[in-house]
Amino acid sequence: MLGKKMARHGLAIVATVLLGGLLSATLVRLAPGFDADEAQLDPHLNSESVQALRHQRLEQHNIFRFYFHSLRRAAHGDLGTSLSLGQPVSRLLRERAPLTLRLVGMGLLVSWTVAMALALSAAWLRVSAYDALTTVISGTFLCIPAAVLALLSVLWNVPGALAVALIVFPRVYRYAHNLLAKAYCLPHIITARAKGLSELRILFWHVVPIAGPQLLALAGVSVSIALGAAIPVEALCGLAGVGQLAWQAALARDLPLLTNLTILVTLVTLLANSSADVIGHMLRGEEA
């Protein structure tokens, strides 16, 4: 039974990932500028060379054919070649993924630590002035452009992961704060307090478990937010990660690279969110 459910879940993930790849390829293909190459503006190039540049993407014009051939090659381990960088996509991803994983991983760790510390303390203390202070702190970081945070990390020579953390933490904090505050208003919490339970026990034994499944869902989503934050941080800090690659690929309309990147991001997002769902269901005592 469990095996059947897991197989169904796995198939759903695979289908979603493949659909994501196809939709991404379609979006890129239909966007203006697909056949445009900056190189064709070089006045040294003659007519034939300009035409050759324009036609180098002819085989990608039929998106279904392109996608089908890409999947067939991917089945043999060949993810295609990046048009803008002239290198195999598999090599590019292999070289760059570890840096992004470290950046995003550290960023999430720091952001969740700070966000939960502030949210838990705000929920525990329930003091207006402290609430206002944490709101101002998180609000300030929410209002600073990601590019500025990235540049600040270069200016102050701190790791890019800190910039990612500062981009993600206000979002996590606000959701976590509201969920915990909501949980505090439930009748059984009032009863627990009336019965003389300590605030710390109430917080960790009664409030946090209530908000747990939602916090887990938030954890899954925060992975996507962190991946998005990695793009400007890597691009501006000169970090050779997947985020920087994604930005270069988008500017160059690099279809093979963008399709594979989307598949990778979709897979990571689905795995993160599915894991959160499964754990959430387990906490609620339901079948996943």
Partner 1 sequence: MTNLQGRSARMRTMGRKAIAVSMVCLGLLVGSVLAQGELRLCLRSEPKTFDPLKVEDDASVTIRYLTGGVLLRVNRQTQALEPELAQSWKVSKDGKQITFKLRSGILFSDGTPFSAEDVAHTVQQLMDPALHSPTGDAFRSGPGNVETKIISSTQISITFPTAVAGLDRQFDQVAMLSAHSPQKEMAVLGPFMVADYKAGSTVQLKRNPNYWKTDAQGRKLPYLGSIRLDIQANRDVEMLRFKRGEIDLVNSLDSDYFDKLAATSPQLVHDAGPSLDSEQMWFNQVAKAPLPEYKKNWFRSAIFRRAISQAINREDLSRVVFRGHAQAALGPVSPANKFWFNSKLKAQAYTPDAALKALEGDGFRLENGTLKDKEGNAVVFSIVTNAGNKYRERMATMIQEDLQKIGVHVNVVTLDFPSLIERMTQTFDYEAILLGLTNTGLDPNEQMNVWLSSSENHQWNPQEKSPETAWEAEIDRLMRAQASSADAKKRKESFDRVQEIALEQAPFIYLVNRNALSAVAATVQGAIPVILAPQTYWNVERLSVK
Partner 2 sequence: MKLWPTNFWRSSACAVLLLVVGLSLAANWLAPAGYAKQYRDATDASPSPQHWLGTDEIGRDRFARVLYGTRISLLLAPAAALLTTLMAALVGGLGGYLGGAWARGAMAVTDLFLSLPWLFLLITVRAMMPLNVSPLASVLVTFLMLGLLGWTSAARVLCSTAGSLRESDFVRQARASGIRGGRLFWIHVLPNLKPVLYAQFWISIPVFILSEANLGILGLGVAEPMPSWGSLLKELEGLVSVGEEPWKFVPLILLVVVVTAFQLVLSKQAEVAA
Torsion sign (Cα): 126, 142, 165, 212: positive
Cβ atoms within 10 Å of 268's Cβ, excluding its own:
18
Positions of E strands within the chain:
none
**Residue ranges in 29-68 that form contacts with partner 2 under rule CB under 8 A:** 30-33
Q: Yes or no: say if 138 and 195 are a contact pair by the CB < 8 Å rule.
A: no
Q: Yes or no: say if 207 and 183 are a contact pair by the CB < 8 Å rule.
A: yes
Shorter beta-carbon distance to partner 2: residue 16 or 45: 16
Distance in angstroms (rounded) separating the CA atoms of residues 194 and 134: 28
Closest CA to 100 of 205, 267, 239: 239
Binding piece for partner 2, criterion CB under 8 A, among 59-67, 70-78, 102-110, 132-140: 132-140
**Residue ranges in 158-177 that form contacts with partner 2 under rule CB under 8 A:** 170-171, 174-175, 177
**Minimum distance of partner 2 from residue 68's CB (angstroms):** 20
In the 8-state DSSP scheme, what is residue 41?
Answer: G
**Minimum distance of partner 2 from residue 275's CB (angstroms):** 12
Distance in angstroms (rounded) separating the CA atoms of residues 227 and 251: 18
Q: Give the residue, chosen from 135, 189, 197, 278, that forms a contact with partner 2 under the rule CB under 8 A.
A: 135
**Minimum distance of partner 1 from residue 85's CB (angstroms):** 6
Q: Which two tokens stand for residue 195?
A: 């019965």
**Residue ranges in 179-238 that form contacts with partner 2 under rule CB under 8 A:** 179, 181-182, 185, 213-214, 216-218, 220-221, 224-225
Count of residues in the chain: 288
Binding site for partner 2 (CB under 8 A): 12, 16, 19-20, 23-24, 27-28, 30-33, 128, 131-132, 135-136, 139-140, 142-148, 151-152, 155, 170-171, 174-175, 177-179, 181-182, 185, 213-214, 216-218, 220-221, 224-225, 246, 250, 258, 262, 265-266, 269-270, 273, 277, 280, 284, 286
